[in-house]
């Protein structure tokens, strides 16, 4: 029987328009916590509802602003891993387009060299006005240590508070990002799912758009996931091991 690597490499060799769909496992080997990991997840220490709901923001924004800036700072302190870099290297191969749709709010894909990244759940490095929604590009001072409270800046246009540009519980995903992700899933001739549990909806439904069209799907995940049954190949490895191995295989021809 053909092993998962050989099967994945065969599919990758035939593909010209690759969409990589990533979740928290993509960033884990860079040292960023996996939110849904019950033992080590960042959210075992804080109440996710308190830190990711628009109601909490309306009641008391300062703890949330402090927490998101701290997370952004933690992200700045880690580096993209070999998996992030392999995706960028793949995109540099001749006659190949590789784009990324991520559920992650870190910027490790971009720092790893990816040039076309859709952030379904927003970014730790985007900010906008709570009320008028205008993007805010002021100077952010990231805290060197975790702090309980920080005052958010005010919108220069309407005077209301600037909020993190991430998607909170109960909020719709950003429309443009979603539309781009859908179009890419539908035009891809190969989809690679990396490091996502497949339980966060509606994002987890995106790869099914490719499955419905008969597009081959490779899953790279150390454990079986909700998406495993839809994948043509489910390769039990990690992002930082599997992706470089795959791209090396492609470059060796």
Q: Does 129 bind Zn ion (CB under 5 A)?
A: yes
Span near Zn ion by CB under 5 A; candidates 11-19, 121-129, 166-174, 241-249: 121-129
Q: Convert 53-77 to b/e letters by CB count within 10 Å (16 or more is b).
A: beebbeeebebbbbbbbbbbbbbee
The answer to whether 81 is a known ligand-binding residue is no
Contacts of 25 (CB under 8 A, 6+ apart): 34, 194, 195, 196, 197, 221, 222, 238, 239
CA angle, 197 as apex, 87 and 209 as ends, to 5°? 70
Count of residues in contact with Zn ion, rule CB under 5 A: 6
Name the residues annotated as catalytic: 121
The residue (of 46 and 132) whose beta carbon lies closer to Zn ion is 132
Rounded CA-CA distance 98/89 in Å is 9
The residue (of 46 and 131) whose beta carbon lies closer to Zn ion is 131
The residue (of 63 and 152) whose beta carbon lies closer to Zn ion is 152
Q: Out of 155, 185, 204, 243, point to the residue binding Zn ion (CB under 5 A).
A: 155
The answer to whether 75 is a known ligand-binding residue is no
The answer to whether 195 is a known ligand-binding residue is yes
Q: Does 156 bind Zn ion (CB under 5 A)?
A: no
191 phi and psi angles, rounded to 5 deg: -120, 130
10 phi and psi angles, rounded to 5 deg: -60, -45
The answer to whether 163 is a known ligand-binding residue is no
The residue (of 58 and 158) whose beta carbon lies closer to Zn ion is 158
Span near Zn ion by CB under 5 A; candidates 15-23, 32-40, 72-80, 154-162: 154-162
Q: Does 158 bind Zn ion (CB under 5 A)?
A: yes
- Say if residue 228 is exposed, middle or buried (CB neighbours under 10 Å; 0-12, 13-18, 19+): middle
The answer to whether 129 is a known ligand-binding residue is yes
Least distance in angstroms from the C-beta of 127 to Zn ion:
11
Q: Does 161 bind Zn ion (CB under 5 A)?
A: no
Least distance in angstroms from the C-beta of 137 to Zn ion:
13
Q: Does 151 bind Zn ion (CB under 5 A)?
A: no
Q: Does 132 bind Zn ion (CB under 5 A)?
A: yes
Q: Return the closest-CA partner of residue 62 out of 122, 126, 147.
A: 147
Rounded CA-CA distance 155/134 in Å is 8
Residue ranges binding Zn ion (CB under 5 A): 129, 132, 155, 157-158, 160
Binding-site members for Zn(2+) are 129, 132, 155, 158
């Amino acid at each position: 029987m053909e092993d998962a690597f050989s099967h994945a490499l065969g599919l990758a060799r035939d593909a010209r328009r690759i969409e990589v769909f990533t979740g928290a496992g993509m960033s884990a080997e860079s040292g960023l916590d996996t939110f849904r990991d019950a033992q080590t997840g960042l959210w075992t220490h804080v109440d996710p509802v308190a830190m990711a709901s628009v109601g909490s923001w309306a009641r008391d924004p300062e703890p949330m602003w402090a927490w998101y800036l701290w997370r952004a700072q933690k992200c700045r302190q880690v580096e993209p891993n070999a998996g992030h870099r392999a995706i960028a290297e793949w995109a540099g191969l001749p006659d190949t387009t590789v784009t990324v749709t991520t559920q992650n709010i870190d910027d490790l894909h971009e720092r790893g060299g990816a040039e076309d990244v859709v952030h379904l759940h927003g970014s730790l490095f985007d900010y906008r006005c709570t009320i008028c929604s205008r993007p805010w590009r002021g100077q952010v001072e990231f805290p060197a240590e975790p702090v309980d409270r920080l005052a958010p800046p005010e919108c220069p246009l309407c005077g209301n508070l600037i909020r993190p540009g991430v998607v909170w519980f109960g909020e719709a995903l950003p429309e443009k990002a979603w539309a781009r992700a859908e179009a890419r899933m539908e035009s891809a001739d190969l989809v690679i799912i990396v490091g996502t549990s497949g339980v966060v909806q509606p994002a987890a439904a995106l790869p099914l758009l490719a499955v419905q069209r008969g597009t081959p799907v490779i899953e790279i995940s150390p454990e079986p996931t909700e998406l495993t049954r839809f994948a043509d190949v489910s390769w039990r490895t990690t992002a930082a091991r599997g992706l470089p191995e795959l791209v090396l295989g492609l470059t060796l021809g």
